[in-house]
């Protein structure tokens, strides 16, 4: 059954019982060694919760404060058009990319290609088995790029897990030829230091540059040594992708000693993850700008020379940001939205106990020009609906909705669902639409929900960790002008200039 709820009627006190039971105490006070952002490459986590939490969840469902288990609810301006469940790839669903009439969906076991020419009836075109978390995905022309951030026995799609302490282990970038969407062909592999958690394309005419984000070095890992305060840059010749290779490792946080120059994290900054690389980078090629979400730091840098990016400004939030996860520019490039993935995506942080400023978005204005630009904090945004203590929920991947003169964004919040919000006024962000499901479980904390929610050519597409591929239609006078905007390709971390 589908219910249409006004979010203002659904403010809840959920979270008090869990806090009393101590479920989040380790998460919020742990040092950097305990912070493992994003779900691992095993099956979805399941953690039993206390009897008081289970009773609280049951009561909240009975009172209509949260949806029932697996129940779909949404605002009146969103329509759920389609859902395609997971099929032969059983792993965690991850990121999305788009090209023409196709959507490309990452999964920890490989990737899936959908024909979305009819958004009401998406069709599977092909599924490729190639395990290796997270399988962060992007496309450019006839090439598809896939990140591997789990230590493997080799670079093949038949590899098995192998300890990172072994020199022969492999992690990095994989490249596929997708000229035939029904039969993608694996054409190249490039090993990178500490693997590739995520990656970002900087497309040039003849070549594609890839910024590889990775982190968590260890002196015991031969190919992932500390301090690892930078990113790998890969150059891929379009006409000879088999020649793809690392062409540099720019250090973004220079500093003396084994810890480098990034945020030191705990105990200096309790609750903040130590910076040992970047989690995600978003580039705006039309403005030669990039924004990096780098664990304990947020950075703004110039990519005029794509092989040698230069940091322009750097900010920290040691009060409310635990893990700088991702970044999104507005169209004018005078704002950046950074996300904080408190709890690594596997914890219930959308509740009264955590509050509105942690596990949220941070909105920054870009003040000044060029190399004198500064990031200036304006406000936080978090969804206004509390979730159950059995639901992992925190700010995650989203994209702009292209409306000229407005700053609108759609965003995934794991089991918090999909939120559409307006940050045209940086200091007064507000939600204007939402879609979510009830908890996967009322007795255990099970990892699930929307990993990525992106706007592409008139529709919202979401890749749900457990439930599969969702298509949503947004009908609202504030967002309707975006339906007239079309792009031929979309990798959200490579933001297009919609109105150039």
Give the pLDDT mean for 421-439.
98
Q: How many domains does the chain have?
A: 1
Question: Quick check: is 295 in a domain?
Answer: yes
Contact 448, 467 (CB under 8 A): yes
Give percent of the chain above pLDDT 70.
Answer: 91
State residue 57's pLDDT score. Answer: 85
The token pair at 43 is 């099956």
77-113 tens-digit pLDDT: 999 999 999 999 999 999 999 999 999 999 999 999 9
173-185 tens-digit pLDDT: 999 999 999 999 9
156-176 tens-digit pLDDT: 999 999 999 999 999 999 999
Please determine, for residue 33, whether its predicted confidence score (pLDDT) is greater than 50. Answer: no
In this prediction, residue 25 has a pLDDT band, given cuts at 50, 70 and 90, of very low
For 7-45, strand residue ranges (E) read: none
In this prediction, residue 351 has a pLDDT band, given cuts at 50, 70 and 90, of very high
Q: How far apart are CA 393 and CA 436, in angstroms?
A: 11
Q: How far apart are CA 433 and CA 8, in angstroms?
A: 12
Question: Quick check: is 497 in a domain?
Answer: no
Question: Quick check: is 496 in a domain?
Answer: no
State residue 24's pLDDT score. Answer: 40
The token pair at 236 is 């891929």
State residue 245's pLDDT score. Answer: 98
State residue 18's pLDDT score. Answer: 42
Top pLDDT among 53 and 289 is at: 289
State residue 39's pLDDT score. Answer: 56
State residue 371's pLDDT score. Answer: 83
State residue 16's pLDDT score. Answer: 44
Q: In CATH, what number is assigned to the domain containing residue 452?
A: 2.130.10.10
Question: Quick check: is 402 in a domain?
Answer: yes
The token pair at 23 is 């479920």
The token pair at 437 is 């499901």
390-407 tens-digit pLDDT: 999 999 999 999 999 999
Q: What are the phi and psi torsion angles at 372 (to 5°)?
A: -100, 5
Q: How far apart are CA 231 and CA 280, in angstroms?
A: 10
The token pair at 365 is 């204005």
Question: Quick check: is 499 in a domain?
Answer: no
Give the pLDDT mean for 335-361.
97
Question: Quick check: is 64 in a domain?
Answer: yes
Range of the domain at 44: 2-490
Please determine, for residue 11, whether its predicted confidence score (pLDDT) is greater than 60. Answer: no
Please determine, for residue 23, whether its predicted confidence score (pLDDT) is greater than 60. Answer: no
Give the pLDDT mean for 59-85.
93
- The sheet that has 207-213: what strands, in order across it? 198-203, 207-213, 232-237, 245-248
Please determine, for residue 196, whether its predicted confidence score (pLDDT) is greater than 60. Answer: yes
Q: How far apart are CA 136 and CA 147, in angstroms?
A: 5
Please determine, for residue 35, whether its predicted confidence score (pLDDT) is greater than 50. Answer: no
To the nearest whole number, what is the mean pLDDT of the chain? 91
Please determine, for residue 370, whether its predicted confidence score (pLDDT) is greater than 90. Answer: no
Task: Kindly state the DSSP code that residue 414 receives in the 8-state scheme.
Answer: B
Q: How far apart are CA 466 and CA 443, in angstroms?
A: 17
Structural element, H or E, at residue 52: helix 51-62
Question: Quick check: is 36 in a domain?
Answer: yes
Question: Quick check: is 50 in a domain?
Answer: yes
State residue 44's pLDDT score. Answer: 54
Please determine, for residue 221, whether its predicted confidence score (pLDDT) is greater than 90. Answer: yes
Q: How far apart are CA 416 and CA 426, in angstroms?
A: 22
125-150 tens-digit pLDDT: 999 999 999 999 999 999 999 999 99
Q: What are the phi and psi torsion angles at 370 (to 5°)?
A: 55, -135
Top pLDDT among 43 and 292 is at: 292
In this prediction, residue 152 has a pLDDT band, given cuts at 50, 70 and 90, of very high
Coil/strand/helix, residue 482: helix
Give the pLDDT mean for 186-193.
98
In this prediction, residue 3 has a pLDDT band, given cuts at 50, 70 and 90, of very low
């Amino acid at each position: 059954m589908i219910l249409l709820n006004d979010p203002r009627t659904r403010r809840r006190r959920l979270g008090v019982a869990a806090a009393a039971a101590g479920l989040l105490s380790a998460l919020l006070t742990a040092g950097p060694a305990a912070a493992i952002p994003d779900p691992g490459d095993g099956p979805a986590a399941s953690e039993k919760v206390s009897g008081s939490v289970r009773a609280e969840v049951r009561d909240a469902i009975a009172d209509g404060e949260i949806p029932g288990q697996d129940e779909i609810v949404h605002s009146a301006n969103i329509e759920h058009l389609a859902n395609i469940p997971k099929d032969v790839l059983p792993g965690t669903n991850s990121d999305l990319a788009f090209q023409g009439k196709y959507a490309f969906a990452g999964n920890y076991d490989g990737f899936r290609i959908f024909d979305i020419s009819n958004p009401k009836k998406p069709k599977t075109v092909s599924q490729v088995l190639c395990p290796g978390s997270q399988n962060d995905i992007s496309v450019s022309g006839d090439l598809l790029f896939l990140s591997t951030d789990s230590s493997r026995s080799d670079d093949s799609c038949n590899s098995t897990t192998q300890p990172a302490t072994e020199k022969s282990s492999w992690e990095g970038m994989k490249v596929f030829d997708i000229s035939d969407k029904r039969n993608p062909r694996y054409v190249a592999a490039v090993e990178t230091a500490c693997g590739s958690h995520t990656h970002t394309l900087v497309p040039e005419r003849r070549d594609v540059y890839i910024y590889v984000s990775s982190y968590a070095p260890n002196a015991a890992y031969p190919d992932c040594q500390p301090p690892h305060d930078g990113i790998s840059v890969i150059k891929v010749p379009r006409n000879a992708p088999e020649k793809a290779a690392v062409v540099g490792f720019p250090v973004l946080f220079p500093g003396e000693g084994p810890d480098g120059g990034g945020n030191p994290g705990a105990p200096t900054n309790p609750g903040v993850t130590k910076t040992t690389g970047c989690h995600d980078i978003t580039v705006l090629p039309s403005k030669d700008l990039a924004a990096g979400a780098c664990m304990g730091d947020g950075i703004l840098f110039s990519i005029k020379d794509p092989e040698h990016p230069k940091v322009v400004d750097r900010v920290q939030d040691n009060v409310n940001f635990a893990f700088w996860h991702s970044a999104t520019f507005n169209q004018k490039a005078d704002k950046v939205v950074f996300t904080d993935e408190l709890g690594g995506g596997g914890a219930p942080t959308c509740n009264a106990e955590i509050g509105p400023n942690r596990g949220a978005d941070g909105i920054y204005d870009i003040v000044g020009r060029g190399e004198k630009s500064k990031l200036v904090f304006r406000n936080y945004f978090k969804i206004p609906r509390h979730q159950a203590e059995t639901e992992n929920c925190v700010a995650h991947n989203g994209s702009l909705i292209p409306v000229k003169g407005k700053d609108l964004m759609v965003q995934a919040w794991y089991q918090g669902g999909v939120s559409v919000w307006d940050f045209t006024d940086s200091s007064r962000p507000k939600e204007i639409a939402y879609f979510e499901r009830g908890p996967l479980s009322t007795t255990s904390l099970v990892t699930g929900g929307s990993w990525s929610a992106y706007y592409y050519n008139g529709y919202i597409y979401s890749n749900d960790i457990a439930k599969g591929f969702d298509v949503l239609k947004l009908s609202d006078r504030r967002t309707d002008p975006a339906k007239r905007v079309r792009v031929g390709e979309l990798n959200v971390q490579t933001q297009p200039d919609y109105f150039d």
